[in-house]
Structure 1
Amino acid sequence: MAHAAPRSRVRGRTGPRTGRTGTPDVFSERTHRMARIAVPVVLGLVYGYWAAANVRYGGPITGGNVLFGFLTALVFIVLYLAVQAIAPRLKREPHAALWGAFTAASIGFLVSTTGFSVLWSMWLGLASGAGLGALLFYRYHSREDAAGRRHP
């Protein structure tokens, strides 16, 4: 037996033309600005630690290992911020492809530090980058109109 779907409790019209969406934004603009920097830094530090742990193969922590981890984290953060700044200016296909390429390179490098073959790290990086690129293309494609204007 079919039942009517419950109505939304949000009053007034919602949608791209009204400038309001059905979900409230609970964070302030200051929080969003801080998160645009904090997220890449935290991800970079985790990535650098992970790469350094892969290189040391369970051995003792050395100065060179710590330096490798911090340099890897620094490169990751700089590249993430560059992609974050450039990608929104692109159309949906290159936008998704840029994030996919960044993911592929990141995963490929991380796997290459484990001691597996270069071919395995390449294929794993390409598979993860292609998967994320396809997912993001669908997301961007479903949130833009034919002229390329983004909707929230």
Structure 2
Amino acid sequence: MAHAAPTSGEVARYGGPPDVFSERTHAITRWAFPLVLALIYGYWAAANTRYGGPITGWNVLFGFVTAIVFFALYMGVQAVGPHVKREVHAFLWAALWGSALGFLYSLSGRGHTVLASAGLAVAFAVPLFAAIFYRYYTHEDAAGHRIR
């Protein structure tokens, strides 16, 4: 009977796709993705405040300030999230995306009320919370540690 001989001292890792990118690529992506997302969000917010009118300096400034705030909040959730319980982690992501959508909705039309914006934000955040919580719940062990 033949047995496969181990080629190295490492234990084989099963159960997930191979990691084909280097650590440097992951580090760059952790900053580049939120930055690009924030710029898109800032542009979207600035476009909503124009109502189809001309681009002004205040409009561009509003877009960049919105992008900076979104980037800071995204990076904050990304930094704090892994250190809190899965429920709080999922709530932070749902609150960020729900409030971001509600803010864009409030800027999109002149007739939208605060209640309508908040309702849309909650209607978006609740199922997002459920989906993110399910993902974190299924990717952690019983003690709450991530399975990698």
**Which band: TM-score by shorter chain?**
0.7 to 0.9
Partner of 2:94: 100
- Residue 20 of structure 1, CA deviation: 4.5
The answer to whether 1:31 aligns with 2:25 is yes
Runs (5+) with no aligned partner, structure 1: 1-11
- For 1:67 and 1:82, how far apart are their aligned partners in 2? 22
- Residue 143 of structure 1, CA deviation: 1.0
Structure 1 vs Structure 2 CA RMSD: 1.6
**How many pairs are equivalent?**
137
- For 1:50 and 1:101, how far apart are their aligned partners in 2? 19
- For 2:47 and 2:135, how far apart are their aligned partners in 1? 34
CA deviation digits over 1:106-146, x for unaligned, max 9? Answer: 11111111122211111111111111111000001111121
Amino acid paired to 2:123: A
Partner of 2:141: 145
Question: Match of 2:134, SS?
Answer: helix
The answer to whether 1:42 aligns with 2:60 is no
CA deviation digits over 1:52-88, x for unaligned, max 9? Answer: 0000000000000000000000000011001100001
For residues 2-17 of structure 1, what are the structure 2 equivalents within 5 Å? none
Question: Match of 2:108, SS?
Answer: coil
Which 4+ residue blocks in structure 1 deviate beyond 6 angstroms?
none
- For 1:19 and 1:32, how far apart are their aligned partners in 2? 20
